Structure 1
């Protein structure tokens, strides 16, 4: 029998007090497409880091084709075993296809010791390599001019040129349309016939059934299930991912067609025919006073893009956004702010905070016009304003002058929310508001969002985290740019995850 392309057994990995992998296992056979699925935090990314040599496991063993994994740090040896094609392309955009294929290997097989790069020969080798794997791309084309699909094929061809016969595909369809997905899958099947194995990671479970023969499920850093895809009911797969084996809570949520729910009150936040680049279907939303609306969806589902459009970070191609009847200028953050939209960004470090500044300065960024006469900012007024926010949100800090970089993750996020609430917004849009904070901080942060709505405003939570969505009165599930299901507050994990993964 042919040895497995990769076999991992008893793999454990800790990062400080966090147990990221707890004795997990995985076997991918030669020529197989094997899916690895699980909710966020299940351990998928950590396992990929171990399998590709980026992290050394604390325990366990990994073999490739029956041989022990290369020594940790031996990059060249790892490249001959496995490669990963990430959702974000790793090609160098301003280099040609040929230059990307042989990056750092331009003088491969050169007779002069590698002192001169023979560009014609390089392009010839690139053309031969692409033809060998059926990739129809001009070797002289700039990588930035290729489609997403073509860049993926170039990365796969590059990995195979090192001798690797195991490719990890991390959310490979996130930026592809239906036709592109079909072409990608057709090419992957051709490569499987040549003995290439694929470890397929995707939030879109229907694609697991379309492409893969075997699926492995991780949950909470542990191995839960490995089974043939053909004999595994979709409901059982979702149950393995969520840990729910039946109806939970107050009973199963009844799925309603979009638009069927009609909370009372004139909408605070409304969109009509809102369309975005990328093939997203036009969206009509109405969020009423006292309501928290959840926009649920996995990577590239469209929920984050919609949230960013609401706050002016993306310019819609069509449609309108109104707040209490006032039309918001498309793609304008200042106008969205002036209209009464508060924003909690997904990444507090890159988008939400000025880490070198104080708590007071960060909390008052949106109200600088209120901190002094004639455009001035009075430190005393800034501190008073910040102290009110510190008390209202229970921010654990030594005082308003403390650098925000010295706070815990949960308290940093409270400062971001303080800034969003500083202008007393009519609508609050929060994108993954509890990312990277502990359980107690999550409860406090979601409590603030709930309190905003209870005070008569509207709130929108954009997230794929189930705990974030439990505070919502309604949840809309997005998949490939469309709203495919709507839930009331009694949904179960199984139903919502199935909708987000496209298993409707």
Structure 2
């Protein structure tokens, strides 16, 4: 191995990572100088999260070496040593909600005397840190009361108090307003000047040109570009992310009828907060429209509003010309909306219930009278759904948690279709399923279109978007680009990432 140059906050040399028989990192090399702000970018599945898991000691490489501050990485179980060298501020909460701000700031690092925590010293050190960051909150405030911006400050300040001078920021601006983003960037620049190093993970490419100095581009488990940002124009960056030959081959297989059709779903002047104001979109009967965007773009909130999960501040939603009641799942379902949530484990499945029970939860009133369900009607409905959707299960009585991910996803779509909706809203419908299950789910979507449903498909996955008749791209709450079926991967990725 060649000698490792000094002055690097973090390095990976020839790093290989496998999960079972699947190799997800293929000899990755990266070196981040002290005081740098390095962006790491790539499409979903590029290997970014796996690399971060190695740089933070969550996993160990199968081959190669990780070094921090010029030294070999600590043993995986030595969490204190890892905390002193690297910290990651994740998009999800990593503070402990019911501990105070002071307790979170000094977590695992409390000053002690004779083996006992000095709570006066904890509070004093917390107050000093809050003053340094000009954060006007009480050290005694419970952390769950913090805003997103305040929580991020607490996490960064905690990392510095623990001694880390290398901080990984994972999608730090996804939930921030622009003025909060500007304040975060000002703090990052000040810390860089003090020698703190940042690894910045973001899908918002326009932001990395604003805050980062260098960039590493990953694709399919490899580093494909590594350069100063001022030497890598935006078109070249997107081209590196997309790579050659990323055609899905599906867009030409589904011609669109030129016959006049009626509007199935119409969203007018919708306001949901979070930068979503005056949003407009329509989907015709028999049409599949993609709503593409990054996490935090607003696309999932739009889907939730159509499903009745989010209560709009203003605007209307019409189903085949009829105004729909807003803010009620049951009312929107009665109006003709079927909905498949993004995360089947958190918001979709009842894992301890059977396949059949999951399939019919939206239509129980149709299966009996006076609150009593006819087991014969339920069995007939379930068997018909299993056959139509191609669900592989021993029977409708099998627990749904025992099925493969693809069959669980088919069941979720089947439950949405059970109520005979006229509008079908699908949020990342093929996420986490195998190729065969994807094809089956695409077939189910085609069948729904053929029956005259208006289909809204919310996604940032190119393969999913390729089945759409047209795609609207949403960025920070507004539609910035619209694409017909013949879109190019480079143009779509650039629009999704905000480089339109």
Q: TM-score range by the shorter chain?
A: over 0.9
Structure 2 equivalent of residue 114 of structure 1: 115
In the TM superposition, 1:203-352 aligns within 5 A as 203-244=203-244, 264-352=260-348
Aligned counterpart in structure 2 of residue 425 of structure 1, from 417, 421, 426:
421
Matched, 1:383 2:384: no
| Secondary structure, aligned partner of 1:80 | helix
Query: Structure 1's 438 and 61: CA in aligned 2 closer, same or farther, altered over 3 A?
Result: same
Q: Whole-Å Cα distance in 1 between the matches of residues 246 and 129 of structure 2?
A: 51
Asked if structure 2 preserves the Cα contact closer than 8 Å seen for 1:239 and 1:245, the reply is no
Distance 2:259 2:164 in 1: 56
CA distance in 2, matches of 1:328, 1:389: 27
Matched ranges for 1:400-479 at <5 A: 400-479=396-475
Cα distance in 1, alignment partners of residues 133 and 145 from structure 2: 21
Whole-Å Cα distance in 2 between the matches of residues 503 and 311 of structure 1?
Answer: 30
Distance in 2, matches of 1:312 and 1:39, equals 31
Query: How many angstroms apart in 2 are the aligned matches of 1:246 and 1:231?
Result: 25
Aligned match for 1:32, one of 29, 32, 36: 36
Does the 8 Å contact 2:40/2:201 carry over to 1? yes
Q: 2 CA distance for matches of 1:393 and 1:245?
A: 32
Distance 2:7 2:146 in 1: 36
Q: How does 1:107-186 map to 2 (within 5 A)?
A: 108=111, 110-111=112-113, 113-115=114-116, 117-119=118-120, 121-132=121-132, 137-186=137-186
How far is the alpha carbon of 1:330 from its aligned partner? 1.3
Q: Take 1:211 and 1:95, find their aligned partners in 2: how far apart are those partners? A: 32
**Aligned equivalents of 2:466, 2:387: Cα separation in 1:** 26
TM-score (norm 1): 0.93
Question: Tell me, which stretches of 5 or more residues in structure 1 are unaligned?
Answer: 252-261
* Segment drifting more, 374-383 vs 453-462: 374-383
In 2, the alpha carbon distance for the partners of 1:248 and 1:330 equals: 36
Count of equivalent residues: 491
Distance 2:417 2:316 in 1: 24
356 and 236 in structure 1: CA distance in 2 versus 1, 3 angstrom threshold = same
Give deviations 1:325-352, integer Å, cap 9, x for gaps.
Answer: 2222111000011011011111112222
Going from structure 1 to structure 2, the CA distance change for 1:263 and 1:151 (only over 3 Å counts) comes to: farther
User: CA, structure 1 residues 248+370, in 2 after alignment: closer, same or farther (shift >3 Å)?
Assistant: closer
The DSSP-based 3-state class of the residue aligned with 1:88 is coil
Distance 1:347 1:74, change over 3 A: same
- Residue 92 of structure 1: how far off its partner (Å): 2.3
**Secondary structure in 1 aligned to 2:281?**
strand
| 2:487 matches 1:491 | yes
CA distance in 2, matches of 1:398, 1:145: 48
1:277-308 C-alpha deviation (Å, 9 max, x unpaired): 21212211111111001010111010011001
Given candidates 394, 397, 411, the residue that maps to 2:390 is: 394
Give the aligned CA root-mean-square deviation in angstroms: 2.1
| Structure 1 residue 181, shift from structure 2 partner | 0.8
Distance in 2 between the 1:62 and 1:388 partners?
Answer: 54
- Would the aligned equivalents of 1:2 and 1:30 in 2 still touch at CA under 8 Å? no
1:185 and 1:211 in contact (8 A); partners too: yes
Q: Are the aligned partners of 1:248 and 1:492 in contact in 2 as well (CA < 8 Å)?
A: no
Q: Residues 356, 97 of structure 1: CA spacing in aligned structure 2 closer, same or farther, 3 A cutoff?
A: closer
Query: Which stretches of structure 1, 4 residues or longer, exceed 6 Å deviation after superposition?
Result: 245-251
Aligned position for 1:188: 188
| In 2, Cα distance between equivalents of 1:398 and 1:122 | 58
Could you tell me which of 101, 106, 109 is aligned with 1:105? 109
1:357 to 353, 356, 359: 353
Task: Give 1:15 deviation, angstroms.
Answer: 1.4
Q: Is the 8 A contact 1:244 1:493 kept in 2?
A: no
Alpha-carbon distance in structure 2 between the residues aligned to 1:314 and 1:156: 31
Partner residue, 2:90: 86
Name the SS for the 1:5 alignment partner: strand
